[in-house]
Amino acid sequence: MAGDSLLEVRDLRKSYAVAPRAIHQAEGDPPAATAEFVGVDGVTFSLAPGETLGIVGESGCGKTTLARMLLRLIEPDSGEMRFRGQDWRGARGADLRALRRRIQMVFQDPIASLNARMRVGAIVGEPLAIHEPGLSRADRHARAAQMLEAVGLGSEALDRFPHEFSGGQRQRIGIARALILRPELVVADEPVSALDVSVGAQIIELLDRLRRELSLTLILISHSLPVVAQLATRVSVMQAGRFVESGAADQVLQSPQHPYTQALIAAVPEIPA
Amino acid sequence: MATRLEARGLTVELPTRAGWVRPVNEVSFALGDGETLGIVGESGSGKTMLALALMGLEPPGARLTGEAWLSPRGVNGNGNGNAASPPATGENLLTASRKVMWGLRGGEIAMVFQEPMTALNPVVRIGAQIEEAIRVHEPRLARDEVRRRALEALERAAVPEPAHRARQYPHQLSGGLRQRAMIAMALAAGPRVLIADEPTTALDVTVQKQILELLVSLRRELQLSLLFITHDFGVVAQIADRVAVMYAGRVVEEGPASEVLRHPRHPYTIGLLRAAPRIAREKLVAIPGTVPPLDALPAGCAFGPRCAQHVPECDAAMPELIHAADATESHRARCILVR
């Protein structure tokens, strides 16, 4: 198993110290001691190339903390992460940079995650400027144009600013930036939850198409089981920092075993068929 | 069922540099006693502006036309209600004076917003905010009585330990509890119409379920008429008796919720239902394109450019709301292909 997996995650943990603050105290509350908030509490999984893992959970369950650790945007307290057998958690310097380009992220909010003062061509081409500094400006521009085409935006988008685009188009720009380095693994954190239903469906279709065309491995993080259900081959349900249920998507969605998964599914307001 | 709130040709116009635009365009509906009408639409459809206009909270400079009649208290429910005629001595919310609206807002018609954290005052205790909503309508009420009613309102909204929560500030409450506090505040002065604008969109699904259950039970208990604004057809299926689907400021389809959901007639409604992700993992079909900006609406049907059934006649004129031959009379769609 370890040999052919793309990403191996073992017993990943992250906790935060919570300082007592008077403002959080109501009259009559007992005095609070310094508490430890466990964000991610021992997550283990392994992901084979081409799989799409859906991680679903409600706010505060630790799914975004987990995503950021998988990207090495924040450091875990303990645990192991291996990418194609290489130590990803402990990678430093040139090793870290080389691995970074193979693992990219799509963010939830396409307004906050795009620099409002940069033109779209520069935003999408920036990862190339960092990871392929030898590339000429013209080549970078051409690659950015090609990538924008692939996500369904014309090359006329290159010279415009993010605010000139709708939410769905901005999310396409975010996806183009994430994919321009041809990563092997993409982590998408709530990629459609800021979008309207009809536009969200376009983004789901786009991710599905790009996943096939570029043979991507995808980790899709969402609070929405129906969204995860559209793309995931495997589903993990997260509660209070742990995976409480993991399995093949059909199995988890159709015959959930854990009471929390059952409660989540029961709470989804379903449209009558 | 008597009509409690009836909108006729309600139109909101806003001035822009390019001229007047209409975020709400000739919207008509009737909301009966104790009935729930779901208003469904995506961003920019005009659903929130419609709610704000009814509350008299439209942005400054907005021009309101049409009518929105609120039936007077006490005359409904006597059996002679006729949905086709306006309440005889009601109040037109669009022309009511500021002073009259001051009394109606909270007292007769109240609103719950999507994000309770921004709707609540962060530096005032929950209890004091609810007390304020009561005191506006009954300034002479004794202090103890106001406090008692505020706690009663929190209890009605199923807030556990109401006396303890009343002393807390909004940031000390979870999202679900904040929304319950908002609902308590909205209902504190005993309104008959509650407008809920995406009240569960910011909440986790398990919490959403609890809030929806709360609204359903409050509606029954208080005989509330509920105008429920949402983008989620799943939520509509749970809570609404009837539904109106809005697109680019207009109602494009309306009817009994179960019928609209099972047999949608307008291509936009059909498209929205197909684009909504479901646990059943059916293949999603996205609607191409985006909602047109209000200052650049296409000629004829506003959905035309995104519509798979588009024919040249669609661009000729905005179609009327018509009902299909095999549909209930109250189920109507704004599409020339409806026969």
* For range A124-130, the mean pLDDT: 95
Q: Tens digit of pLDDT for each residue in A252-273?
A: 999 999 999 999 999 999 888 7
DSSP B313: G
Look at residue B280 and tell me if it is in a domain.
yes
Q: Which of A196, A249, A264 sits opposite B206 (nearest CB)?
A: A264
Specify whether A95 is located in the same domain as A218: yes
pLDDT over 70 percentage in chain B:
95
Please answer yes or no on whether B277 and A202 come within 8 Å at the CB atom: no
Specify whether A145 is located in the same domain as A255: no
| Residue of A23, A24, A193, A271 best to disrupt the B interface, most CBs of B under 10 A | A271
Specify whether A61 is located in the same domain as A171: no
Look at residue A23 and tell me if it is in a domain.
no
Look at residue A22 and tell me if it is in a domain.
no
Look at residue B205 and tell me if it is in a domain.
no
**Residue A55 vs residue B17, higher pLDDT:** A55
Specify whether A193 is located in the same domain as A271: yes
Predicted pLDDT at A37: 85
| Cα B213 from chain centroid (whole Å) | 17
Look at residue A160 and tell me if it is in a domain.
yes
Q: Which of A59, A223, A265 sits opposite B279 (nearest CB)?
A: A265
| Cα B15 from chain centroid (whole Å) | 24
Predicted pLDDT at A22: 55
DSSP collapsed to 3 states, chain A? CHHHCCEEEEEEEEEEEECCCHHHCCCCCCCCCCEEEEEEEEEEEEECCCCEEEEECCCCCCHHHHHHHHCCCCCCCEEEEEECCEECCCCCHHHHHHHHCCEEEECCCCCCCCCCCCCHHHHHHHHHHHHCCCCCHHHHHHHHHHHHHHCCCCHHHCCCCHHHCCHHHHHHHHHHHHHCCCCCEEEEECCCCCCCHHHHHHHHHHHHHHHHHCCCEEEEEECCHHHHHHHCCEEEEEECCEEEEEEEHHHHHHCCCCHHHHHHHHHCCCCCC
Please answer yes or no on whether A28 and B231 come within 8 Å at the CB atom: no
The answer to whether B4 and B71 have CB atoms below 8 angstroms apart is yes
Look at residue A218 and tell me if it is in a domain.
yes
* For range B133-147, the mean pLDDT: 95
Predicted pLDDT at B77: 43
The answer to whether B121 and B170 have CB atoms below 8 angstroms apart is yes
Q: Which of A205, A266, A271 sits opposite B273 (nearest CB)?
A: A271
- A168 lies within 8 A of chain B by CB: yes
Look at residue B29 and tell me if it is in a domain.
no
Please answer yes or no on whether A199 and B290 come within 8 Å at the CB atom: yes
Banded model confidence at residue B192, pLDDT cuts 50, 70, 90: very high
**Residue A138 vs residue B84, higher pLDDT:** A138
Specify whether A177 is located in the same domain as A210: no
Q: Tens digit of pLDDT for each residue in B279-321?
A: 988 889 999 988 898 999 999 999 999 999 999 999 999 999 9
Please answer yes or no on whether A205 and B284 come within 8 Å at the CB atom: yes
Predicted pLDDT at A7: 97
Query: How far apart are alpha carbons A237 and A246 in whole angstroms?
Result: 6
* For range B68-92, the mean pLDDT: 65
Look at residue B279 and tell me if it is in a domain.
yes
Banded model confidence at residue A33, pLDDT cuts 50, 70, 90: low
Look at residue B321 and tell me if it is in a domain.
yes
Banded model confidence at residue B81, pLDDT cuts 50, 70, 90: very low
Specify whether A215 is located in the same domain as A192: yes
Structural domain for B327, as ranges = 262-333
Distance from CA of A23 to the nearest CA of B (A): 9
* For range B333-339, the mean pLDDT: 93
Query: How far apart are alpha carbons B4 and B90 in whole angstroms?
Result: 9
β-bridge partners, A78: A13
Query: How far apart are alpha carbons A177 and A150 in whole angstroms?
Result: 11
Q: Tens digit of pLDDT for each residue in B102-128?
A: 999 999 999 999 888 888 999 999 999
Distance from CA of A40 to the nearest CA of B (A): 19
Look at residue A26 and tell me if it is in a domain.
no
Chain B residues with at least one Cβ partner in A under 8 Å? 42-43, 164, 167-169, 171-172, 175, 204-209, 212, 231-235, 237-238, 258, 261-262, 271-281, 284-288, 290-291
B252-281 in b/e form (b: 16+ CB < 10 A) is bbbbbbebbbeebbbbbbbbbbbbbbbbeb
Specify whether A91 is located in the same domain as A191: yes
Tally of domains in chain A = 2
Specify whether A96 is located in the same domain as A3: yes
Residue B244 has pLDDT above 80, yes or no: yes
* For range B184-194, the mean pLDDT: 96
Look at residue B295 and tell me if it is in a domain.
yes
Q: Determine how many CB atoms are found less than 10 A away from the CB of residue A257.
A: 12
- A201 lies within 8 A of chain B by CB: yes
Look at residue A24 and tell me if it is in a domain.
no
Look at residue B311 and tell me if it is in a domain.
yes
What lies within 8 Å, CB to CB, of B77 at 6+ separation is B2, B33
Tally of domains in chain B = 1
Structural domain for A161, as ranges = 111-182
Helix (H) or strand (E) holding B170: none
Specify whether A216 is located in the same domain as A82: yes
* Average per-residue pLDDT for chain A: 91
Q: Hey, what amino acid is at B211?
A: I
Distance from CA of B203 to the nearest CA of A (A): 9
Query: How far apart are alpha carbons A79 and A11 in whole angstroms?
Result: 5
Q: Tens digit of pLDDT for each residue in A38-47?
A: 899 999 999 9
Banded model confidence at residue A26, pLDDT cuts 50, 70, 90: low
Residue A21 has pLDDT above 70, yes or no: no
Banded model confidence at residue A247, pLDDT cuts 50, 70, 90: very high
Specify whether A135 is located in the same domain as A254: no
Specify whether A163 is located in the same domain as A216: no
Predicted pLDDT at B76: 47
Query: How far apart are alpha carbons B194 and B113 in whole angstroms?
Result: 11
- Final residue of a structural domain among A147, A182, A217: A182
Look at residue A248 and tell me if it is in a domain.
yes
